[in-house]
Structure 1
Amino acid sequence: MSALGGFFWAIICFLLVIGPLIFIHEMGHYLVGRWCGVKAEVFSIGFGKELFGWTDKRGTRWKVAALPMGGYVRFAGDMNPASQPDPAWLALPAEERQQTIQAKPVWQRFLIVFAGPATNFLFAFVVIAGVLIALGEPVTPPVISQVMPNSAAATAGLRAGDRIVRLDGESMRRFEDIGFYTALHPDADMRIDLIRNGQPLTLSAHSKATTETDQFGNAMRVGRLGIRPAGGAMQAVPLVEVPGRSAALVVDSVKTTLTTLGQIIVGERSTKELSGPVGMAKVAGEQATLGWFAIILLMVGISINLGFINLLPIPMLDGGHLVFYVVEAIRRKPVEPQVQEWAFRSGLALILGLMLFVTFNDLGSAGLWQKLYGLIG
């Protein structure tokens, strides 16, 4: 496939992945808004100029817009982000005013906003549960079968036959858990609780940092102990355990995101690992070549991250609105309009700045800057 063909392929795959997730997110807002008796004026996938759409019998305009980088539901009454009466709102007939979001108690407004991220988490939970029911999960006992020479494990004194119970206090149910936790903590001190010959033992290790490259050439810095497991197998998950196991995997994914962001903030990871829409499009195109199952798993990961990011307490995001609603509930009155206006402007500037930064990162990862430098040089 040519470079141009690969570019368009990545864009198409990205839209096929992100479009349904945006729809799911906004549908959460929409459904809870309707449940609370709020009229939805617009349900939009994308921003900017409308490409096509229709108006339903309730008066909601459903549309797809030119810039597919998000979406929104505009409820009646959204003209005032501070949720305070203004002349336009007061001029509405009483029945129509009751269908606006401003007329609803703060707990209902909170639920309407929270429903978007919650629906993203719910989507991931349902898909993971379906995979566990249909396929089971890989289960390899957390027992070491081999310690690699000159590895972090050898230095720490680990031996074949050791059963690792906990890493830094976190329970290791499967060998897969050990590999995942270690990969997430490169060049880090670890406390290892294990069972050796039936006796508990605690050792200290320092994971080795290495850069690994996948089949698409994407490099990632990961941690390794240098141990190998005995053979494992796919194992059915009892139906009664599926909800808890699925919820735990969603929570683990959020914890992974938090850990990675924390490592970037303190300088343990490079900011180059941050990615935006361009990087997501590249990954979507790559995963699409592996089949539908890979795409579905990618959608699960992106959906969880969408839910997490939208809950960050940044004005302009759902989390920022939720913070204002919590403050309003405590104060028993909304935050002053000028304070919210200042906060929303600051949040918009922060989001735009972050988008520019991650796009710069993505283009650099794609080799654009090197190519331009070669042309100039």
Structure 2
Amino acid sequence: MIQSPGILLYLLAFVLVLGPLVFLHELGHYLAGRWFGVKAEEFSIGFGREVAGITDRRGTRWKFGWLPLGGYVRFAGDMNPASQPSAEWLALPAQERAKTFQAKPLWQRAIIVAAGPITNFMVAILILAGFAFAYGQNVTPAVVGVVEAKSGAAVAGLQPGDRITAMGGRSVDTFFDVAKYTQLRPGEQVRIEVERNGEQHALTARIGERVETDRFGNSYRTGRLGVGPGAAVLKPVGLLEAPLIGLRQTADIVQMTLDGLGQIITGRRPLSELGGPLKIAQVSGERLAMGPVEFVFLIALISINLGFINLLPVPVLDGGHLLFYAVEAVRRRPVEPQVMEWAFRGGLIAILALMLLVTLNDLGAFGVWRSLAGLIG
């Protein structure tokens, strides 16, 4: 039976996920700017007309915008979208200009910009570290316990007792490494290196495909090699070790994100798998309905993706600003304002086009286009 959390739970979960993550992202920018003596004029959660706000004693306006799909910190000196000095900035008194973003050295501006994505990664690391400390770490060795008949593993010649040491050129330590590699690659052919009776062997297997449907009616196409582990091994994790495990798991998730993005770019996965705000709301509501552990883990995943996306070298994103700072460091002079302005416009167009694409995908996933086609037909 298909279960639906309901639209109110979707909206509540969406706000509970995106609101705090956007706040923490912008708080990273704000705190780094404050550390270097930059005045923040506005701190906004959401875009558009102000719904509510308050001005603190430092002159920063903390507010909520009516469109809760992001946020921003506007520092003194950020007088145009491309963060370029302007005549208005040059006209400021020297004492005020010293507190502006553009007056700071290049390395300080780079830290302020990078602080937002870094904060998102730190949030995820802390969450994953907490899970590792609370539940332990699965360190089940990558030793084949069972081989499913007629599976890709069986056809390739994998046998119980084989220790998988590498897949597709990547080293494998645990059985979880095997699972996460195969799940992303349904239908692909992969080179598998195994240790058998003390000898190294190289096999070629075609990963099978499996379509799974969850209790909410969502279908997922995943890869399945057709092997199972022996006895599971769960290792307790100490308080000092937990952050290192959280960091390692965060890096693994970033790697999986890069793999998925590469598959979409190369056409191995359809563009329809890209989701937007509506998909985030749906998944958030479903994970909230499944319980706090699933919901908090989702927060970690979205926080990682928020940090990753913001580091992409696209003008208008944090990564675009960092790219121009890198060019400035090499050239020893800033990029020309006209170039920055046109790059910003191009980046904005690209982001808007992507938002349109993922929104269309979301509507398609919700069956809107099928319903319209049925009405027209």
Q: Which TM-score bucket, shorter chain as reference?
A: over 0.9
Are residues 1:218 and 2:218 paired? Answer: yes
Are residues 1:250 and 2:284 paired? Answer: no
8 Å contact 1:165–1:173 — kept in the other structure?
yes
Query: CA separation in 1, counterparts of 2:362 and 2:276?
Result: 7
Structure 1 residues 222, 5: closer, same or farther in 2, change over 3 A?
A: closer
8 Å contact 2:22–2:71 — kept in the other structure?
yes
| Range with bigger deviation, 169-178 or 271-280 | 169-178
Give, in angstroms, the shift of residue 124 of structure 1: 0.7
* Structure-1-length-normalised TM-score: 0.96
CA displacement, residues 297-336 of structure 1 (integer Å, 9 cap, x when unaligned)? 0000000000000000101101111111111122222111
Report the counterpart of residue 263 of structure 2 in structure 1: 263
Give, in angstroms, the shift of residue 213 of structure 1: 2.1
Q: Helix, strand or coil: the match of 2:298? A: helix
| Range with bigger deviation, 276-285 or 187-196 | 187-196
Give, in angstroms, the shift of residue 238 of structure 1: 4.1
Query: CA separation in 2, counterparts of 1:48 and 1:81?
Result: 15
One-letter code of the match for 1:293?
Answer: V
Query: CA separation in 2, counterparts of 1:83 and 1:217?
Result: 46
Give, in angstroms, the shift of residue 180 of structure 1: 1.0
8 Å contact 1:212–1:219 — kept in the other structure?
yes
8 Å contact 1:84–1:334 — kept in the other structure?
no
Structure 1 residues 269, 299: closer, same or farther in 2, change over 3 A?
A: same
Are residues 1:354 and 2:361 paired? Answer: no
CA displacement, residues 137-172 of structure 1 (integer Å, 9 cap, x when unaligned)? 223222222111111011000111212122123222
8 Å contact 2:43–2:63 — kept in the other structure?
yes
8 Å contact 2:79–2:86 — kept in the other structure?
no
Report the counterpart of residue 106 of structure 1 in structure 2: 106
Q: Helix, strand or coil: the match of 2:290? A: coil
Structure 1 residues 152, 320: closer, same or farther in 2, change over 3 A?
A: same
Structure 1 residues 84, 259: closer, same or farther in 2, change over 3 A?
A: closer
| Range with bigger deviation, 181-190 or 137-146 | 137-146
Counterparts of 1:63-102 in structure 2, within 5 Å, are 63-80=63-80, 85-102=85-102
One-letter code of the match for 1:181?
Answer: Y
Are residues 1:204 and 2:201 paired? Answer: no
Query: CA separation in 2, counterparts of 1:82 and 1:176?
Result: 44
* Structure-2-length-normalised TM-score: 0.96
Query: CA separation in 2, counterparts of 1:66 and 1:358?
Result: 21
One-letter code of the match for 2:28?
Answer: G
Are residues 1:182 and 2:190 paired? Answer: no
Counterparts of 1:1-377 in structure 2, within 5 Å, are 6-80=6-80, 85-377=85-377
> How many residues end up aligned between the 2 structures?
376
Query: CA separation in 1, counterparts of 2:369 and 2:25?
Result: 35
8 Å contact 2:136–2:234 — kept in the other structure?
yes
CA displacement, residues 206-243 of structure 1 (integer Å, 9 cap, x when unaligned)? 11123222222222222111112223143212444333
8 Å contact 2:39–2:75 — kept in the other structure?
yes
**Identity across aligned pairs (percent)?**
56
Structure 1 residues 360, 101: closer, same or farther in 2, change over 3 A?
A: same
Give, in angstroms, the shift of residue 4 of structure 1: 10
Structure 1 residues 164, 103: closer, same or farther in 2, change over 3 A?
A: same
Q: CA RMSD in A?
A: 1.8
One-letter code of the match for 2:290?
Answer: L
Query: CA separation in 1, counterparts of 2:268 and 2:295?
Result: 30
Query: CA separation in 2, counterparts of 1:178 and 1:184?
Result: 11
Residue segments in structure 2 that go unaligned for 5+ positions in a row:
none
Query: CA separation in 1, counterparts of 2:68 and 2:82?
Result: 27
